[in-house]
């Protein structure tokens, strides 16, 4: 009787082990789906965040890379629809590398534009330099450009772009403080500073 009980107990253990092992692929699939879904959300948020930056000031090379990034996200989405979660993850990882490269490339254009704006503003408003607030804004515009260069050197390209926007904001405000109209050539920068797409 004791032996029979042991046999039944052993048999039950085998059945439980079999059920556990047969359920493991589903557990792994659920985990892969969860990881891929979270990565999709992150990548698509990054893509949307890039749109204004790229469309306002992206050069043709950057714009083409942004289009390539959009294609990658569609491919990854298709992999999710086909339950190819690991393939989707591979694409999302490649997307994040490209996303960072786009930020790197466009940060160069932002720094150049912010520096050009600062220099042009200083020349155009030099007669107002003795206005304490105008001269203070000149310094802030220059400081933000310098900080943007440091951020880019440290591979913090998003911060570099934000600092460039700050610099351009101070350059633009210098005209208003001086009682001068802001040149039309900076309309796009005003939209960009407000995180808006510029429309002609």
Q: Please tell me whether residue 182 adopts helix, strand or coil conformation.
A: coil
Nearest CA among 167, 128, 113 for reference residue 144: 167
pLDDT category at 200 given cuts 50, 70, 90 is: confident
Tokens coding 50: 């890039």
pLDDT category at 12 given cuts 50, 70, 90 is: very low
Residue 5 confidence (pLDDT) above 60: no
Residue 23 confidence (pLDDT) above 60: no
Q: What is the pLDDT of residues 24-52, one digit of tens each?
A: 444 446 578 788 899 999 999 999 999 99
Quote the pLDDT of residue 7: 47
Among 17-21, 146-150, 160-164, the minimum mean pLDDT is found in: 17-21
Mean pLDDT of the chain: 88
DSSP string, 25-72: HHHHHHHHHHHHHHHHHHHHHHHHHHHHHHHHH--HHHHHHHHHHHHH
Query: Would you say 50 and 66 are in contact if contact means Cβ atoms under 8 Å apart?
Result: yes
Q: What is the pTM of this model?
A: 0.81
Distance CA(56)–CA(196), nearest Å, equals: 9
Distance CA(132)–CA(125), nearest Å, equals: 13
Quote the pLDDT of residue 9: 52
Quote the pLDDT of residue 46: 95
Measured in degrees and rounded to the nearest 5, phi and psi for residue 182 equal: -75, 125
């Amino acid at each position: 009787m004791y032996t029979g009980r042991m046999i039944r107990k052993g048999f039950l253990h085998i059945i439980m082990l079999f059920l556990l092992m047969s359920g493991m692929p589903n557990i792994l699939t659920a985990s892969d789906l969860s990881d891929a879904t979270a990565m999709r959300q992150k990548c698509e948020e990054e893509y949307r965040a890039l749109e204004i930056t790229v469309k306002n000031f992206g050069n043709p090379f950057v714009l083409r890379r942004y289009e390539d990034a959009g294609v990658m996200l569609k491919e990854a989405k298709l992999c999710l629809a086909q339950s190819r979660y690991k393939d989707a993850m591979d694409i999302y990882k490649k997307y994040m590398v490209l996303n960072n490269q786009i930020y790197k490339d466009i940060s160069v254009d932002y720094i150049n534009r912010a520096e050009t704006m600062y220099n042009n503003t200083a020349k155009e408003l030099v007669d107002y330099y003795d206005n304490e607030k105008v001269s203070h804004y000149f310094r802030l515009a220059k400081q933000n450009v310098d900080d943007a260069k440091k951020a880019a050197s440290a591979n913090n390209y998003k911060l570099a772009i934000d600092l460039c926007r700050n610099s351009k904001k101070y350059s633009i405000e210098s005209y208003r403080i001086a009682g001068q109209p802001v040149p039309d050539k900076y309309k796009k920068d005003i939209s960009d500073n407000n995180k808006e797409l510029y429309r002609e």
